[in-house]
Chain A
Amino acid sequence: MRALTWHGKHDVRVETVPDPEIVNPRDAIIEVTATAICGSDLHLYDGVIPGMIAGDVLGHEFMGRVVDAGPSSTLKPGERVVVPFTIACGHCFFCEKQQFSACDNSNPVAKQDISETLYGHAMSGLFGYSHLTGGYAGGQAEYVRVPFSDVGPIVIPDGLSDEQVLFLSDILPTGWMAADNADIEQGDTVAVWGCGPVGLFAVQSARIMGARVIAIDHYPRRLELARGLGAEVIDFEQTSVLDALMEMTGGIGPDAVIDAVGMESHGFAVDNLLDAAKQRIGIGADRGHALREAIMACRKGGRISMPGVYGGFLDKFPLGALMEKGLQLRTGQTHVQHYTADLLRRIGEGEIDTTFLISHRLPLEQAPEGYANFKDNQNEWTKVVLHPGQ
């Protein structure tokens, strides 16, 4: 089959690799009809996530048609499914608590050692996201082997198109969980850093949950999309974010803040330049300007929700502000399986539309071009959907 493979920093290629097959009883094989490039794929593309091996197949947002199912799978050939990017067994302590991204059993045993050293514990397996999370081949390919296919994939009714539901695989539940983690109360103002796909879905979700939303970015087109979802916007290149947020919230600060940026913050603040230099020479510092600013902005006793991806250590973390102001911080890889059924219903009822995000559609063969543009032309390239087999 054809698949997008990783070979190093800014080096991804479409290559022919062996077709997957059923290995374990609960597996299914999916023929991919639509797959997307995720903002977190750019962290792999930029080489800032450890545990990658040349030839790894990327992609963790995908959907398709079931072509083969193992004896313990509940899927049937021909069914259309969206596959959560978090692989979860459904039976361990964490899965039973609906904390699917903490699944004990989906990350292969030999792969757990590195994460246990780095993080203290191994997290669940993820598709196409380094060997720290299992080394599973991803979905930017013609076919994918989906383990525990009786737990993750959600069957899509005929009336809904691929593009309407594809983002159930990651970014829509991730944006929704970001808003959920912000514990929104009546009358709250929520500030969202980053109007990439997850940030925009966090804006949309927080609006549905009843919050007033202020979105922060520097790409005019992305800010326009946020405004279209009902947010007020701040362009950090023309406005001092901390001052503006205080003035726009009656001198109180936002009740909850959402960092939808993660470890590769943009901008020319002093702390960010230092972080960027360290990241460049590979001494493992995450680049956390947005998170620091969010913590400084958050009102006393407020909540920080952090869907943005971090991989290592962050310098100059304003722990004092966190403690002294009594903030709560909630984060984590998304428990996708916990949210998919409810979000599919909301899409079906027309409450949520996600197709506004898609700016470009490409055949799988042009995926490397998609990566380069998604990274370098973030204003226009808001979301790339790939169609294998075209």
Chain B
Amino acid sequence: MEIGSRTIHRRPQPGAILGPGLVLAFAAGIVLLSTSALDRRREYQRARLAAYPDSAPPRTRRAPPSGRKALTGHTVTINRPRHELFAFWRDFSNLPTFMSNVEKVIEAEPGRSIWTIAGPVGFSVDLDTEIVEERQDELIAWRTLPGSDVEAEGRITFRDAPDGRGTVVSAEVAYRPPGGEVGRWIAKLFQREPGIQGRRELKRFKMLMETGEIATSANRKNS
């Protein structure tokens, strides 16, 4: 019968099974090879860093720092005097005006504050933080206390930009992402990842300080 003959004609050739199998094996081989190549590359980068450290901030390094905390940060130059920026930032109750994911900051006692931060998919996390170092008009460094939802530490620095161009503001956060590396990627997907958030918040801070408002293309107040 025709159908039978078609079946015969379509009998899988050995190569048809072998083919995809080979491709898979080959792909797996490439993944394994590239993983080990990547490891070797990172080893090389770390060794090179140890021998010839360059001037760039650690968060821009190709090889992630050893240890389990993710490091992220961003820098902006703001055309306002250093003391003004520091004073605005140091009053933590101002932060939710430009940090869209910070729901509230409560100063529980001097030097200790609780931050409620929106996470991905409607969750929020509480950071119980203490200031570990503060230099007037220069730097605020903080870290989370045991029992906080996320383990993190960070610092914001203010220094004069060259030739009267305002203030260079850098923020850096090291944190253990809830859910590990997978959690970090999920957060990234929802644009709640600290790297993206931090960059946007610094830009909003700059807008507010330089122009008195935060730019929006919304045509109505509640749109």
Contact = CB atoms under 8 A, between A and B. Distances in A.
Interface of A: 18, 20-21, 23-26, 72, 89-93, 96, 104-113, 125, 134-137, 145, 147-148
Interface residues of B, number: 23
Given A104-B206, A110-B200, A112-B203, A91 B211 contact: yes
Interface in B74-124: 77, 79
Interface in B166-223: 166, 196, 200, 203-204, 206-207, 210-221, 223
Contact of A136 (B77, B165, B217): B217
Contacts of B221: 21, 23
B165 A93 contact: yes
A358 B207 CA distance: 39
B207 A21 contact: no
A136 B212 CA distance: 19
B216 A108 contact: yes
A107 B27 CA distance: 43
Contact of A89 (B166, B203, B211, B216): B211
Given A23-B216, A109-B203, A125-B217, A148 B211 contact: yes
A108 B206 CA distance: 12
Contact of B200 (A93, A104, A109): A109
Contacts of A90: 211
Contacts of A112: 203
B52 to A, nearest CB: 27
Interface in B40-81: 77, 79
A106 B216 CA distance: 8
A72 B212 CA distance: 9
B215 A105 contact: yes
A20 B211 contact: no
Contacts, number: 75
A96 B79 contact: yes
A125 B215 contact: yes
A145 B216 CA distance: 11
The secondary-structure label for the interface of chain A is loop
Given A91-B210, A91-B211, A23 B79 contact: no
Contacts of A96: 79
Contacts of B211: 26, 89-92, 105, 148
Given A92-B210, A109-B203, A134 B217 contact: yes
B213 A135 contact: no
A273 B220 CA distance: 45
Nearest to B98: A109
A24 B216 contact: yes
Nearest to A136: B217
Q: Which 6 A-B pairs have the closest CB atoms?
A: A20-B219, A24-B213, A89-B211, A135-B217, A136-B217, A105-B207
Given A93-B166, A105-B210, A109-B200, A18 B223 contact: yes
A136 B218 CA distance: 8
A139 to B, nearest CB: 13
Contacts of A105: 206-207, 210-211, 215
A106 B215 contact: yes
B221 to A, nearest CB: 6
A134 B207 CA distance: 14
A103 to B, nearest CB: 9
A145 B196 CA distance: 29
Q: Which of B165, B200, B207, B211 has the most CB of A within 10 A?
A: B211
Given A92-B79, A96-B79, A20 B210 contact: no
Contacts of A147: 215
